[in-house]
């Protein structure tokens, strides 16, 4: 994998609380790889748009996919400056003071430009990555796209030019003067959990696939 | 509550899959009220920034709060056009084809402009709302901000000018021709769950507060 020098440039340099910032690509990639939905921002004549999109990372790029208005997809695919942001919330941080309430989280902000893929093979690979980003191993359990489906799908390729990660872990950071207040302080962890799979009526007889069985066994990211 | 006419304007008109769009403010507000972290986008000289921020809704406005670079907060508070986006993922939609894989979700995109609050009373109210957005009832269990904390906190007030919601529910929408493929299809529900509270060492003897006890009893949104 081609990892760039993690030297911060002005647009992604985290100014505040610098110990929460991680410029190393691999740290940011680990966070990206734990999710599959990002918020993608771009500007049209000074008007910002922030749109939820499915993504998957392929080396130093993201592929992006969403049912957003074709007008917006058209704007996005012209190669305008784009910012992709995603956050995983890991817990509520409850302090004795309102001021020190916070959240534990892992977040990534990536900058680059997007372009529409038009190569059928590359789009086919991207679609398998979207499916596997949602559920590892799932792409091998389903039918790849045919020619008509590829033609009907817009996939954007986003080269990650700058990226930074930021995270908060640990407990409440109360002021010393507040320690003896009678209020409880601590962290309530948060985690995405998967519920009981709901098969479609017309395949209710089929056994759960291996991807779903693994998902229900492992703790989520 | 002052609810505006839900007539769509061009920047937030959902063009595709129109039955997933909801222009009614109250539907969008219900989704906003189920979360507390949004991705906030704005443009600086054509460069988009998308930043995770804590939010709370107060009537037809959001208050926004985050530890983002003060330079970016400064830009955001000048009243530039701003887009606030948030998404809750409710499930993985697993189809027989890659093409029909999807996610169940609820999302909101809101447009407006932000300005920094400088009134101490308004900032105090906003901070209680941030705390209660994370955990209903928590603000009453902790110390409100003092003068120094208010001075150290930037709170942005964002009037919601345009807003739209979009959601997907239900099962996989496979092509008829794929129904007899041997692949499993269905939905795996996803939900945020709260784990065992981790008290700070110096208040470990305190009983869990009512807010946390309620949180652990109720299913999350």
CATH of the domain at A206: 2.30.110.10
What was the pLDDT predicted at A3?
34
Interval A66-87 mean pLDDT: 87
Span of A130-144, B63-77, B121-135 with lowest mean pLDDT: B63-77
Domain extent for A150: 10-173+192-217
User: Does residue B43 lie in a domain region?
Assistant: yes
Span of A20-24, B38-42, B46-50 with lowest mean pLDDT: A20-24
- Which pLDDT tens digit goes with each residue over B172-183? 999 999 999 999
How many residue contacts between A and B have a Cβ separation below 8 Å?
Answer: 295
Percentage of chain A modeled with pLDDT above 90: 77
C-beta atoms surrounding A80 within 10 Å: 15
What was the pLDDT predicted at B10?
61
Chain A touched by B79 (CB under 8 Å): no
* Residues B41, A47: C-beta atoms closer than 8 Å: no
Percentage of chain A modeled with pLDDT above 70: 86
Q: Is B57 helix (H, G, I), strand (E, B) or coil?
A: strand
C-beta atoms surrounding B53 within 10 Å: 23
What was the pLDDT predicted at A120?
96
User: Does residue B92 lie in a domain region?
Assistant: yes
Tokens of residue B47, six digits: 């460069």
User: Does residue A126 lie in a domain region?
Assistant: yes
C-beta atoms surrounding B70 within 10 Å: 11
Q: How far apart are CA A193 and CA B190, in angstroms?
A: 6
What was the pLDDT predicted at B18?
55
| Alpha-carbon B148 to chain mean position | 28
Q: Which residues pair with B162 in a beta bridge?
A: B111
pLDDT band at A195 (very low <50, low <70, confident <90, very high): very high
- Which pLDDT tens digit goes with each residue over A24-47? 889 999 999 999 999 999 999 989
Looking at per-residue pLDDT, the higher value among A8 and A69 belongs to A69
Tokens of residue B142, six digits: 């902790």
| Disruptive mutation site among B184, B199, B213 for chain A (greatest number of A CBs within 10 Å) | B184
Residue B13 has pLDDT above 70, yes or no: no
User: Does residue B220 lie in a domain region?
Assistant: no
Residue A17 has pLDDT above 80, yes or no: no
Which of A67, A81, A203 lies at the smallest CB-CB distance from B48? A81
User: Does residue A203 lie in a domain region?
Assistant: yes
Which of B48, B171, B183 lies at the smallest CB-CB distance from A83? B48
User: Does residue A178 lie in a domain region?
Assistant: no
What was the pLDDT predicted at A5?
37
Number of domains in chain B: 1
Residues 100-139 of A with CB under 8 A from B: 101, 103, 105, 107, 109, 111, 127-128, 130-131, 134-135, 138-139
Percentage of chain B modeled with pLDDT above 70: 86
Residue pair B135/B36 in contact (Cβ under 8 Å)? The answer is no
* Residues B189, A198: C-beta atoms closer than 8 Å: yes
What was the pLDDT predicted at A2?
32
Chain B touched by A18 (CB under 8 Å): no
Residue B8 has pLDDT above 60, yes or no: no
* Residues A37, B89: C-beta atoms closer than 8 Å: yes
Residue B164 has pLDDT above 50, yes or no: yes
What was the pLDDT predicted at B21?
60
Looking at per-residue pLDDT, the higher value among A126 and B207 belongs to A126
What was the pLDDT predicted at B5?
37
What was the pLDDT predicted at B206?
77
pTM recorded for the entire structure = 0.90
User: Does residue B45 lie in a domain region?
Assistant: yes
User: Does residue B189 lie in a domain region?
Assistant: no
């Amino acid at each position: 994998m081609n990892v760039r020098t993690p030297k911060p440039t002005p647009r992604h340099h985290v100014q505040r609380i610098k110990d929460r910032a991680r410029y190393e690509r691999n740290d940011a990639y680990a966070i990206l790889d734990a999710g599959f939905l990002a918020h993608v921002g771009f500007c049209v004549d000074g008007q910002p748009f922030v749109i939820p999109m499915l993504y998957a990372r392929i080396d130093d790029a993201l592929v992006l996919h969403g049912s957003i208005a074709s007008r917006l997809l058209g704007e996005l695919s012209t190669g305008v400056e784009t910012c992709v942001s995603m956050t995983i919330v890991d817990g509520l941080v409850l302090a004795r003071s309102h001021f020190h309430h916070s959240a534990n989280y892992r977040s990534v902000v990536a900058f680059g430009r997007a372009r529409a893929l038009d190569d059928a093979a590359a789009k086919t690979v991207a679609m398998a990555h979207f499916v596997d980003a949602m559920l590892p191993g799932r792409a091998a359990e389903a039918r790849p796209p045919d020619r008509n489906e590829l033609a009907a799908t817009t996939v954007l390729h986003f080269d990650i030019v700058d990226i930074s990660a930021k995270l908060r872990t640990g407990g409440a950071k109360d002021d010393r003067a507040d320690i003896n207040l009678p209020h409880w302080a601590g962290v309530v962890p948060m985690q995405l959990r998967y519920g009981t799979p709901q098969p479609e009526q017309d395949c209710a007889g089929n056994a759960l696939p291996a991807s779903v069985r693994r998902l229900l066994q492992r703790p989520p990211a």
